[in-house]
Structure 1
Amino acid sequence: MLGPVAAWDPDGTPLPLGAPRHREVLGRLLIARNRVVPVGRLVADLWGDEPPAGAVGAVRTFVSALRRALEPGRPPRQPSRLLVTDGPGYVLRAGREAVDAWRFEDIAARAAGASPHAAVALWDEALARWRGPVLADFPTAAWAGAEQARLEALRLDAVERRADSLLATGASRDAVADLRAHVSAHPGREDGWVLLATALDRSGRRGEALESLRRARAALAEGPGGHGPGPALARVEARILSGTGGSAAEPGGMAGGVWDRAAAAWERSVPARSRARLHATAGLLRDLAVTGAEGLGEAREHRRDLVAAAEATGDTELAARIIGSYDVPAVWTRADDPAGAGELSRAAARAAARLGPGGPPALRARLLSVVAVESRGDAAADAPLPRAADSPAAEPWRLRAERAADEAVRLARRLADPALLAFALNGAFMQSFATCGSAARREVLGAELTRLAVGHQLPGHEVLGRLIRLQACAGLGDLAAADAEAEEVDRLATRDERPLAGVFTSWYRALRTCETDGWAAARPRYDALLATAAGSGMPGLSRGAAALVALVPVMRGDGLPGPGLARLDAGPYRPWLDPLLLAASGDAEGARQALAAAPRPPHDLLQEALWCVLARAAAAVGHEPVLRRARDELAAAVGESAGAGGGLVSFGPVARHVRAAGRALGGP
């Protein structure tokens, strides 16, 4: 695609594709990116509104010829595995490594996250894929226009980012010649001029740098719209005149200039009450949520307002798209804002109901994924929680969330949409805690999500998949596998600027130290984490964490806590810790009353740990209903470590707690 349409066999020998119409069909199927193109669409794209008689037959002839050319060794009458008939049309099932444009995109994605020296080599490799303009033999074809523009924009960006990487390595002189050619061919690219001026200045050619800025102003003023230069050009000129010249970390302020110009263009071009602003805001909040603690808090605060604004338009599909667009990976199963999560879950359920089962399946899958993710723990509960002392019973809100997760995954698999499937698997993870002892299931789910994300360049969901595996492997006692995932998560977090991922790996390493070296060695690590926990932007993780940590040496032993634990804020864990604290204080009757009133632990990453706490309290005061229920719930997790599946704390082997409960009930 990156040049005239062409194909080669594995040895590099050109394949004879035939006449221009054959190559045009191949080009049209390539830009469909593994999606079916109906025969009628091919006819319209090749001949316009007035196709000749026999156009459909001609297309079929072209396809037959292409099949012979692309798979010369295919036996007669054996179906093609590359150019496939599918329903009403044809699909070219090519791997990403087989198409130059897709390889270019993949290499560029790797370059964007690489160190400067490695990035230069990767940008060179990506740009070497280009043999000329996109689909060069069809420059005026209407069907090719959008893809030609998109890929050309990516190429220009790659040229500039390669130069940016060269500057970051100190190779300013090497960047100058290519940048001169770049701005000469594309004088409207302000970033190109900024980079050229920076490269000249760093090469000791200050006069030429200032002259290039003069020419840049003239070129930009004469360009489309005549808006003139933006603030990035002014900033680099100020640096050159002041003698500071910029730095390798900020070569010419390119990113800041792009942001400033794009924001200004947005304000000029998009009406204040436009629905496009709702869509853009949704995307901004999605990206803001992964920038760090402050960004996550801001995104959470504004998301409900955005959903309310979308619902207020009365446009069901618009509201559904806004609600379903927030596919930020979520790994902690206690909601930061349970009330807000419940509201969002109900809003997604309303939107799905209004669209009905006949609505767009991808949109329905997104909404159901929102229901599944936001219903984590008991955020979607619409009735009092069942008591731990009662026999297990069906809980309607949980069943709805589990069904939503299952349907979202089925739809996403059927649609073969990798990003959608990743989001649906996130929902499936949140609903994978119906019973204790589900670490092995979560390990499989995390592995699938990781493979999917790696194969389709979904960095956020790769971090999520690896964190899920880290937690599951910790719960199963496979610390070597958990260590490997922690190392990879830290690498990805640095590369992709995902600071919140490091919160989870830091907690895991404290847990691991406790498992291998004991509480005394782990305590300083936990103290350091607790000192910064409030700043993580994740109150669902940090509130009550100090009380859970203080319980670690207690629960890994056989006794009751001392009075110091009662002074800690147990946060959301208060209903399950109070009975143990009362028992420890000598108030046996108060402990029994608290046990009778305690709800069953939430279906989340800490459910095994909280059942162990209830079992310890119930054994201390002889509350048989809770003790029996706790033993039965924990029986499914005897191969796991209590709480370690959350990567936060470990109360030791579940099997030990089950045996202790059995003895308290009169068993051996």
Structure 2
Amino acid sequence: MVAARPAGTYEFRVLGDLDVRRDGAQVRLDPVPRRVLARLLVDADRVVPPDLLLADLGGQRATLLEVLADLRRLLAPVLAEEPDGFVLRPGDGLDSRLAEQLIATARAAGEPRAALAVFDDALARWRGASYAGFADTPWAGREAARLDELRRGAIDDRADTAQRLTRRRPEPLPLIGRHAELAVLRGMLDDAEAGRGRVVQVLAPAGAGKTRLGEELARLAVRRGFLALWARSGTGAGARELLAWRGLLATLRKIRPDADAQVPVAVPQPAELAGLLGSLARAEPLVLLFDDLQWLDRPSARLLRSVAGLLGAARVLIWVAGRDLTSAPDGPRIDLRPVGTDEVVAALGRLVPPRVARTIAERSGGSPFVINALVRARAGSSSVDDIPVGAEAVLTEMLGRLDADERSTVDVAAGLGRHLDPGVLAAVLGVPEQTVLATFARLVQDGILRRGVGGDRHSFVHDLIWETAYVSLGPAERAALHGRIADAMIPIATRDRTRVFDVAAHLARAGRAEEAAAWSRRAGNNPADALLGGAVGDDVSGG
């Protein structure tokens, strides 16, 4: 470790690899001092007892004393010894603190252009995953997760702000039909509120409106005092184990800060998880919404079945929807049928002329997704001559309207799957991350992407869009794309172990089997998992 007389200004950068600067110059630290410093930064401005530091070092007291002595010589102005332990006071030199202040300032700004500039300043401070290299430790995991959720929320809010400077955000279409299904779901909410929780299954093909029905259920539940939590399945190469449950718990920590101490960062065992949800439901009934069950990873599905069986009479309604429900817990099933022409005409009302509404109903095949796409594309038009027939024609037309930058972004995004990391897209495309975010904002307006929900990332509005974009690339192009994505992820994965399996899965899809097996072993998995576990490539069809 470098020892020197302290001087001037200190910067502590934890939004990525730990980086320490004194008067602008990097301070090089050996692994053990870096770990101790990271531990102190997690509890910045709070006294950390030496026993905690000792436990984090595995009981190496002599090493700890030596490291603390060196750190105090190096960081004397900001690191002090107190009667009960040690305290690091970084002031404005901690990048996570500054980023949080900037995000709050941007959110409070009244003028969109000014807000965008402050959002950009805040987001530029992230150089990778927060507390990279330490996020899997018990003491840094919660703070790393909180900071990364803060970043995702800022990305969403920035996209929202950008939309205010472009076109007016289209209003969502009303729910088309589904009156009988909603009556059944209202009865299930009654049962859950009375302590007769259950599972309800919703089975339908792609485009039939499963997610839209879930959104309506969530809206009804919230109006009745329920807490609605979405658990979205991952798709694409590198869809990670327990992703749906990780997202659900992350959302819970974000929207219920008062329950943060109860909600673990790591996904707990079934009995503990069921106990947590049951405890929360005693104060506030819950609706858990598991969408796209056909993409649910096997560990998430097993955990879902176990938790559903353990919840018993808790005030919890579990809604599961998908094209395939073989992994779903038992429960009554709703089969969604195509919506009828009269239902479409009644729902579209003043949005389009009756003749256009009737033609849309006939040519959509009763698919709410196709109906929505056609209405968005033909707002204000009274012509029926150019209305395409069927989902494939509609999707081809949607993607054909994109400009070159938007289409290249969609192509790379299709290789990533439905949940998108703007940093990875920026690396693959060779553009700044803010350029990707600006393109995201336009794609949201175009009905291609949706903003993240509850800390989730941006995602494709519908599987059909993602699948159509992915299949349109062709096998050779897809393999090359997965190789570019893997190469862009490797520097991230060397800092963030949670991304190691992502690299393995993309390498497998790129046809680089030996590299994929090596990265899968680094992730602690059977090398075959990279080929079987998360990639979708050849399994995707255009329908």
Higher relative contact order (CA 8 A, sep 6+): 2
TM-score, normalization: structure 1?
Answer: 0.27
The structure with the largest strand share of the pair is 2
The higher radius of gyration belongs to 1
